[in-house]
Amino acid sequence: MSYDLIVIGTGPGGYVCAIRAAQLGLKVAVVEKRGTHGGTCLNVGCIPSKALLHASELFEEAAHGFKKLGIDVGTPRLDLPAMMAHKDTTVKSNVQGIDFLLKKNKVDPFLGAGKIVAPGKVEVTMNDGSGAKVLEGKAIVIATGSDVATLPGIEIDEKTVVSSTGAIALDKVPDTLVVIGAGVIGLELGSVWARLGAKVTVLEYLDRILPGMDGEVAKQFQRMLEKQGFAFKLGQKVTSVAPAGNGPVTVTFEPAAGGGGETIAADVVLVAVGRKPYTDGLGLDEVGVARDNRGRVVTDAHYATTVPGIYAIGDVIVGPMLAHKAEDEGVALAEILAGQHGHVNYGVIPGVVYTMPEVAAVGQTEEELKAAGIAYRSGKFPFTANGRAKATLHTDGFVKVLADAATDRVLGVHIVGAGAGDLIHEAAVLMEFGGSSEDLARTCHAHPTMSEAVKEAALAVDKRPIHI
Ligand code: FAD
């Protein structure tokens, strides 16, 4: 039971770190207390939510989009159990894929709860009831991810007051859904149920949706969601959520700036106010691994914690809680442990909201550039002027390219539009290579594609778009 590396947690951070380390010749064990590998992302996060987003988007299209294209399917009927079965099958095939990959790379899996009992020693309480095993490793990686956060006094029962986990498993479409929190998860899962027929109201403490994303993008996107039937109550502080047996849940809120309270009743309330690092039962205090004031494991630039030989990556440390950030940290750390120079460029981590239209961003927002005093030029191009968007009836949204005023280096790209989550990657690659808006504008883009809007936005930085 002696390893070069023991990884605790097999989410996108942990399993990717384990595989990369094994590729580099390290003897690796992983410890996972959930019954399956893949972590939050594959089991209850990215993958199931995208399965439901895709299915519900097609349902909505069939009901309201097909007719305009000359397809009359009548009124589509929702088979929610079948939609949920699609989600479950998707999750199953993805988590089984991780089993296969771990085996292929000769990583030893231990299904059980891991606890660091001393530097170099992890005790695993096995899920199968076979007792505790002690694994020894030259290095230990904490990749235990995050868990749902809630507000004080709000109890999540996963039936009428749900977290994202309950919201991807409702057994019927609620007539009314209140979403607390206008972040990515709230808007994605709100979209799923709105498309399936729920009347969705979003309560948000801040005076805007999608905190952290470009302000202009957030404003326009809010209007698009409102057109889809979303109601937003911004600048509101939720003070209580009171379930009443099987009846509706009463949500009480008041203006964040002060003032009289209001109530709203809903069949289901989704609490989507964020996630918190998960370190329960890991024994961190006993071994002396420091955490910050938000409970995140403190690491240096090479993912080393305050205890030699113990490292941490992913949602459990500082930075955006995103699967691909966790994965890239997993790769970087494995390479560092194998004596290479692993590195993550935190300036170029794309963020995507998988709604319809999608929202995608990489690099800095206008607000961030202004706050940093960086002079920039902006180029914008709307999808209404893009031929492919017209042909597919996906004309909502735009591309915005922000480039340094002096050097023309692209500093940020922000997209609202169908397929934005894929379009953003040409910007990410460009930015990794320190490219300019002129580089983007001079790159030949296939016609007719949505990507042409990216090229046109780059041309617009120099005030010379062709198609507008
Ligand atoms: P996790 O995926 O949380 O994995 C940690 C694992 O560690 C868990 O399986 C846990 O059981 C295990 N563990 C914890 N403690 C122990 C212990 N003591 N012993 C053994 N095992 C332990 N991100 C995106 O990039 N794109 C998306 O579209 C996206 N959609 C999301 C949708 C939802 C609804 C949610 C909730 C999240 C979404 N995320 C998305 C976020 C993404 O899931 C996380 O950023 C990602 O899973 C973090 O990976 P991780 O490896 O750090 O941790």
Query: In sequence order, what DSSP letters do the residues of 143-191 get, joined into one string?
Result: ---EEE---TTPPP-SSSEE-HHHHTS-SS--SEEEEE--SHHHHHHHH
pLDDT at 385: 98
Q: Residue ranges of the domains in the chain? A: 2-148+276-337, 161-273, 351-461
Spacing, Cα 284 to ligand 1 middle (Å): 19
pLDDT at 368: 98
Which of 37, 40, 289, 333, when mutated, tests ligand 1's pocket best, judged by the most ligand atoms within 8 Å of its CB? 40
Using pLDDT thresholds of 50, 70 and 90, give the confidence band for residue 238.
very high
Which of 37, 41, 278, when mutated, tests ligand 1's pocket best, judged by the most ligand atoms within 8 Å of its CB? 41
Averaged confidence pLDDT in the chain: 97
Average pLDDT score over residue span 133-138: 98
pLDDT tops 80 at residue 435: yes
pLDDT tops 90 at residue 56: yes
Would the CB of 426 count as within 6 Å of ligand 1?
no
Separation CA 250–CA 240 (nearest Å) = 8
Would the CB of 284 count as within 6 Å of ligand 1?
no
Residue-wise pLDDT tens digits, 399-432? 999 999 999 999 999 999 999 999 999 999 999 9
**161-273 and 351-461 share one fold:** no
Fold of 161-273: FAD/NAD(P)-binding domain (3.50.50)
Spacing, Cα 12 to ligand 1 middle (Å): 7
Average pLDDT score over residue span 241-263: 91
pLDDT tops 90 at residue 215: yes
Q: What percent of the chain has pLDDT over 70?
A: 100
Would the CB of 114 count as within 6 Å of ligand 1?
yes
Using pLDDT thresholds of 50, 70 and 90, give the confidence band for residue 1.
confident
Q: Are 188 and 56 in contact (CB under 8 A)?
A: no
Burial class (CB in 10 A: 0-12, 13-18, 19+), 42: buried
Distance linking the first and last C-alpha atoms of the chain: 65
Spacing, Cα 7 to ligand 1 middle (Å): 14
Separation CA 186–CA 183 (nearest Å) = 5
pLDDT at 247: 79
Average pLDDT score over residue span 5-34: 98
pLDDT tops 80 at residue 276: yes
CA-nearest residue, atom 3 of ligand 1: 145
CA-nearest residue, atom 33 of ligand 1: 45
Which H/E stretch holds residue 136? strand 132-142
Would the CB of 40 count as within 6 Å of ligand 1?
yes
Residue-wise pLDDT tens digits, 354-370? 999 999 999 999 999 99
pLDDT tops 80 at residue 371: yes
Burial class (CB in 10 A: 0-12, 13-18, 19+), 36: middle
Residue-wise pLDDT tens digits, 28-46? 999 999 999 999 999 999 9
pLDDT tops 90 at residue 458: yes
Any catalytic annotation for residue 447? yes
Would the CB of 450 count as within 6 Å of ligand 1?
no
Burial class (CB in 10 A: 0-12, 13-18, 19+), 1: middle
Atom of ligand 1 nearest to the CA of 324: 25
**Domain 351-461 CATH assignment equals 3.30.390.30:** yes
Using pLDDT thresholds of 50, 70 and 90, give the confidence band for residue 70.
very high
pLDDT at 358: 98
pLDDT tops 80 at residue 382: yes
Using pLDDT thresholds of 50, 70 and 90, give the confidence band for residue 107.
very high
pLDDT tops 80 at residue 245: no
pLDDT tops 80 at residue 243: yes
Using pLDDT thresholds of 50, 70 and 90, give the confidence band for residue 285.
very high
pLDDT at 303: 98
Average pLDDT score over residue span 197-221: 98
Using pLDDT thresholds of 50, 70 and 90, give the confidence band for residue 269.
very high
Output the CATH code of domain 2-148+276-337.
3.50.50.60
Atom of ligand 1 nearest to the CA of 314: 52
> Which amino acid would we find at residue 134?
V
Which of 46, 185, 280, when mutated, tests ligand 1's pocket best, judged by the most ligand atoms within 8 Å of its CB? 46
pLDDT tops 80 at residue 246: no
Would the CB of 163 count as within 6 Å of ligand 1?
no
β-bridge mates for residue 176, sequence order: 199
Atom of ligand 1 nearest to the CA of 330: 51
- Give the contacts of 418 (CB within 8 A, at least 6 positions apart): 356, 357, 358, 383, 389, 392, 394, 396, 397, 450
Would the CB of 31 count as within 6 Å of ligand 1?
yes
Would the CB of 143 count as within 6 Å of ligand 1?
yes
β-bridge mates for residue 263, sequence order: 252
CA-nearest residue, atom 11 of ligand 1: 34
- Give the contacts of 390 (CB within 8 A, at least 6 positions apart): 384
